Chains A and B, each alone.
Chain A
Amino acid sequence: MGRSLLDKLWDEHVVCQPEGEPALLYIDLHLVHEVTSPQAFDGLRAAGRRVRRADLTVATVDHNVPTTPNHRPIDDPIAARQIEALQANCAEFGIPLFDMDSPEQGIVHVIGPELGATLPGKTVVCGDSHTSTHGAFGALGFGIGTSEVEHVLATQCLPQHKPKSMLVRVNGRLAPGVTAKDLALSFIAKIGTGGATGHAVEYAGEAIQVLSMDARMTLCNLTIEAGARAGMVAPDDTTFAYVKGRRFAPQGASWDKAVAQWRALASDPDAHFDQVVELYASSLVPQVTWGTNPAMVVGVDGEVPNPKAAKTEVDRKAIERALEYMGLSAGTPIEEIKIDVAFIGSCTNSRLEDLREAARVAAGHRVASGVRALVVPGSQEIKRAAESEGLDQIFKAAGFEWREPGCSMCLGMNPDIVLPGQRSASTSNRNFEGRQGRGARTHLVSPAMAAAAAVVGHFTDVRRWEYRQASAGGK
């Protein structure tokens, strides 16, 4: 029997398998941010423990940081204290920190790959559920809690049961205007928010092979919303081209050796998977969530569902409750839903390709009156790259705010929140009640769909978009 990508990653990282206990799994890269780490460092101090491998640990600030230009000092004293705690902890334990003034600061799941810290074949953990993002490189990346952050800091290991494996084969290709975001949302709708619980998902098939790394990261990022431990894509030439030359990537002779090893990570043709799911990319349309979890989603050409059509009583109540919270009535065409806010950003959709797609839609148009539209690049590096292409000028000319990197309005831990009752078209990952602000109504969409909604003031099918040249003012 052949081995899957998961089998190969797993076997390589098992330190030992103690009798009657989970395997002890070695962690190659530990990403740390300000929100889920202070209590872990306190735990280390209380027990008199040290950080075992500060050299395998990378920290940044992203969740709390304001994204308005010239945002120092931070107004929120509690947020400031949390960031100061990370600075002090990194200094005390010798951990490299990409701080607010660093040219490489950004969302933790954006900068890991950018720095070349995330590499094929690695185990990657972070105190954040969207650590599944790193699986796009053929790494095993999964989110952990603060106690586990402490565990990894102290031992560089975690006791883990091996996840079950799920192969998601995506046949055909995505149509123009349909993105990895739409693919991910339709996958979550198919298997449900808990459908992949306990599994590591490997995406394969023609549609995946032609995806860019930015798109693969979006797809793996959202895998957690189906309950999965991890989402992965086998590394290939697209992966290697992205990784090559990055700061922490292997160089020279060790590069060639590494690529040879990475190529061997792909699942063997006769590998066993506990579950196999088939998806068809070519029939997919742009997706818009209508409810309060990411599985509550429908095509932009569809309508808000009727609770009476639910299969069970609990499902019916869940739909009713979601519609009440969202202020929607059954049968409303999705394209008639008006928005107040458009947010383009987050670890799901803040990369250069995302910004390019949104800018292409925004070019030569204006944000609808009464709509507030934000573009928050995922990192300083992306911000610089976008600016060198003139994307910032396109956005600003169209009436979008151009911000500094951070998690921002995805979860509104910083001042970027959606007000009660307001409706947002958001490229982020969670439409939970209150996620973007208490009473906020979130609709998850792709970057192009969010930009289009910002311009016309309601959801619209980006496949019919009237693309224009950037007006004067753009570079």
Chain B
Amino acid sequence: MKQNERKNVIRKPRRPPPLTKAPTGIQGLDELTGGGLPRGRPTLLCGSAGCGKTLLAMEFLVRGTMEFGEPGVFMAFEEDTTELMTNFASLGHDLKALVARKKLVLDFVHIERSEIEETGEYDLEGLFVRLGHAIDSIGARRVVLDTIEALFSGLSNTVILRAEMRRLFRWLKEKGVTAVITGERGDTRLTRYGLEEYVADCVILLDHRVEGQMATRRLRIVKYRGSTHGTSEYPFLIDEGGISVLPISSAGLMHVAGPERVSSGVPRLDAMLGGKGYYRGSSVLVTGTAGTGKTSLAAHFIHAATARGERCLWLAYEESSSQITRNMRSIGIDLEPPVRRGMLRFHAVLPSICGLEMHLVTILKLVNQFRPRIVVIDPVTNFDALGSGAEVKAMLTRLIESFKTHQITAMFGSLTVGGTPLEATDLGVSSLMDTWLLLRDVQNGAERNRFLQIVKSRGMAHSNQMREFLLTDHGVELLDVYVGPSGLLLAGGAREALEAQERAQALVRGQETEAKKRELKSKRQAMEAQVAVLQAEFEVEQAEVSTTIGQDRTRAGVLAGDRVQMARQRQSDARAAGKTPRHK
């Protein structure tokens, strides 16, 4: 028994337990790191000033204690505890209460070089004692040192500092706390004083860049020993809810495409789309020149969905929500009740308020919060001012993939600039779309008329017919299209004129037929009369012929009788008397 135990003890180091992780609770970051930061090990968090290091570190602690029951120690070298409490109160974290409930220790380490004289050897045992006491006082499992590099500016003996730094990280590991150490970004190195040399387990780099006047925060996992992790730069967002990171590469075209259909809100359009409408979770592109009714089509879609009890999110990048609501009321769609019921949420902003990445993060955050079944982005074309075509396409690809993963049916309005080929979308995004509705404007005489056609609709038998697209005071109507004699599409007034003409022609044709029928009838009557006359004549003739035949027979009988009489009278040949002569 004892031997076995010993064997186990020996064996254990050979097969170390898999790396366990301490979840941060920060949206997206745990997905990127495959579950959180390395448990019981220090993680270096570096970045330039104002990139959100302190915030991320504090959120790691606050969420750690609130969501995962792991109390934390925050050792601040730059902000004192009052400043920290004030700053985080504005982000909705009540640090004071956490401190009072012994869930959190805030310790401000004050170092001022001018107040300190250094003589001879020393070590930082005071710091160790301090940290150790803080950890033990609340049973902390997480520690943040923000930013320990302040020691380098406060104390001059770097030989001692480096040795102590190495000892500190080793000590943190021995303590088994999950630590986050922040560091200022250096010119050539990740941190100004090369902290990355000591922290070898996990290094996360934060960045705050301004490109084309748009500031974007990005996060990158430089290193994560013993674990796979996302390697790209991921945009992240800081708002009143804290930090949210956007893991994008996790989108791996793994979404499930079900057979469920969702009505477009226009019955005739549903009929054109294989009789049932769009696929659930598909993306629908509606392109068209200005004023062709893209928004109205979206309003129909949304209205029908909210009536079915599905939550909808409308991302408006051109019109305010009240403008959309007012305009849609003019075609008989009232979007206000669904808004009041909480079924429809508008997010109306100008595209230029932030960069593409930020838009993406914001949208995904909204989607995660609101969990809509349907999202409308109108117009998606307004993004093209924020980046190159490839960038916009990349952003939309990620957006669509995310929608599909959540089984969200998305409709994208895209404005086609007049004069360009209608089939060319400005963003080249049509290949990403499952269904593409094209709205076009055709000038006919003194009129403009709208037409709708389905350019494509993956995976369903859809109509190849064009339809006239009417905006009435009770919504969108689709009508059959007339092709005029010259091959032109006829719609609106021209169509009505043609219809009237056709009705008149039909009437005339009907009258002609009637006349012909009557003529035929009278002809038949005439013919029948003639037939009767001829028959009568024939009967007369027949009667005459029968009489003649009778007379002839009588005459022949008489003649034969006469001949017998004459022979008898001549008595020339008695034998032949009873017979008719052989020869005449």
Partners in one complex: no
Measuring CB to CB, which residues of chain B are less than 8 angstroms from any residue of chain A? none
